[in-house]
Each structure stands twice: as C-alpha cells, then as structure tokens.
Amino acid sequence: MDRKTFIRTLAGGIVGLATGGGFFNTVSARGFRRITILNTNDTHGHIEPFPPYAGKYAGLGGVARRKTLIDQIRAQNPHTLLLDAGDAFQGTPFFEEFRGGLCYHFMSELGYDAATLGNHDFDDGVDGWVSDARRANFPFVSSNYQISNAAMRKRVQRYLVKDVDGIRIGVFGLGIAFKGLVTPQNHKGVTYEDPVPVARETIRILRENERCDFVICLSHLGFKYPDDRISDMRLARRVTGIDLIIGGHTHTFLQSPVPVQTTPKWRTLVTQVGFGGIVLGRIDFYFDQKKKQPDYLAMNTIVGPGNRDDEKIEKYGNGVSKS
C-alpha cells in the first residue's frame, strides 16, 4: 500500500473518532499491525511534578501521571514499547538524597523495555552506576561505549531484539563523547567510539543476522548543533537503515518527529521530548501483512493536570539547550 492510500485510511479512522467509531479499530480492520513506541529522555531525577515556582513548567511531569498515561496506552494497545534515551540521573533533591537507584526503581515500576546511557548516568562513576542498576529490571543498550568493567558489562548489551506482534524490532544505543562532560575517573573502564561506523555495523547485524523488520536507535548524542559535532540529525543523514532515532541530551522539545530522507528510498524519523518527563513521546507505526511500514501517527502528550494533549506544547519551543 502506498502512502496516499494509507493516509486515506488514517483520515477515515479520524472521522470515526468524531462520529463515535474507533480510529484504531478502523486501521486494525484494514489489516494493519500497530506498534506503539513510547519514549522519554533526560528525566533527570524528576520523580514529582515540577513545583509551582518552575515558571512555564509548573505542575507538569511526575512519575505517577506518566504511569497513568502509559497504563492507558498499553490497555489500548498491548503491542507497546517504552524506551528511554538516557540521563535518568541528576537534577533534583531526590537524586541528591537517594542517588540513581531511585530513578531506576521508578522506571522499573513504569515497565520500561530498554534504556541507553547518558553522560549524567556516570555522575557517581562506573561502580556507582553498577550499584544503582541493581534497581533496574530492564536492559541497557550501548553500542559505541566499549566496556571493560566486568560488572557493568553484564548489565549493558550492544543491542536487543524484541518480537512485537510478529514484527522483529532491533534496539541499539549510542552515547555522547565523554570529553568535557564526564571526568576520566567517572568513566574508567568505558571508552567512547565513533558512533557512525559503529551504527553502520550494528544495523548490518540487526538487519542481516537478526532479521529485524524495524530498527530503533536510542541516542544520547543531541538533536543538532551549529558545528560539525555528531548529532541525531547528522547521524540520520550519514547512516542508512535506522527507522527511528529517539534522542536526548539537548533537551529539545519536538512537537512531532522530524523526517530525514537519507536516500531516495529510505526515511529516518528523529524525535526528542525535552526533559524532566514533561512530555511522553508516542508514535504509532503501522505495518502491512508483508511487515512493511507504510506510515506513522505521532501523538506526543504533555504530562500535566488533566493529561493535556493539545497544541500548548508549542509554548515550550524547539530550541537546543546546553546540558
């Protein structure tokens, strides 16, 4: 099915919503398999909503509200993955008092399927991270961090493969360079490798050896920069074979994924949802009977009172911030 036909199917489903029918039932009845991808990044120890004095972020976020949304979405579609692009640590008194173990405890309670590592996840050093990771009942993926520390190596995989409703989904992770962000002592036993060749080789393994239908990169490289540093946008243009890049580090609020036409026949989507758990990212992908992906529907939601999901996300902007 081509994109125009699929869009007409989407339009019919949306009309169904307005008239009491079900959009998702409509696309299901037409033979599509729907995979929902939920994503967060840079939650930075924000267990509770932002306090009243937090300006435009006041009252937003919080683990309890995020869990409510996630549970509702999973009830609607059991074929759902929940993924995080790093930097769960640092930023609130919760981290200062309880360290990263509390962050991973609540991520486990929310049922994350996988996460990658951000620079702040090394704030207590490798041994500190290993201790905190005992509270995590989900896997970590990192392809370009070479790990010699035995205890950490047991917890971090190069990639993972999930079978979701018959669709084989490969997930791998890419971390940012340590220089200027993590002291040598704090990443002792972990070395950084160029993400571009690592990504190409990992994609080859996932596509050819693991027979993946869909490939997701959990990236903590940053959305984009004014210079030539590697970023999600630069990665998407230089590497073919990634379907979705879920990014972090730059705290960039994107209202919807950015499509990058890598080649005339290949498109990569790049997404990122700010920081602090303010937004829960959501993209629904639809696969036909041949496991081909015709298109997607993005429905990012502000995690706030009443679970606001309107266009007020625009007020948070799409700027790149330092972190």
Q: Which of 16-20, 28-32, 109-113 has the lowest mean pLDDT?
A: 16-20
CA distance 282 to 299: 5
Token digits for 248? 């972090």
Q: What angle do CA 121, 270, 101 make, to 5 degrees?
A: 20
- Tell me the domain boundaries of the chain: 32-316
Answer whether 303's CB lies under 8 Å from 66's CB.
yes
Beta strands in 85-188 (DSSP E): 114-115, 140-141, 145-147, 156-157, 159-164, 167-174
Q: Is 148 in a helix, a strand, or coil?
A: coil
Residue of higher predicted confidence among 320 and 157: 157
CA distance 115 to 275: 15
299-315: per-residue pLDDT in tens?
A: 999 998 865 443 444 44
pLDDT class for 24, splitting at 50, 70, 90? Answer: low
Q: How much is the average pLDDT of 58-78?
A: 96
Is residue 176 pLDDT above 50, yes or no? yes
Token digits for 218? 């959990």
Q: How much is the average pLDDT of 140-153?
A: 96
Instruction: Classify domain 32-316 at the CATH superfamily level.
Output: Metallo-dependent phosphatases (3.60.21.10)
Answer whether 141's CB lies under 8 Å from 157's CB.
yes
CA distance 36 to 70: 11
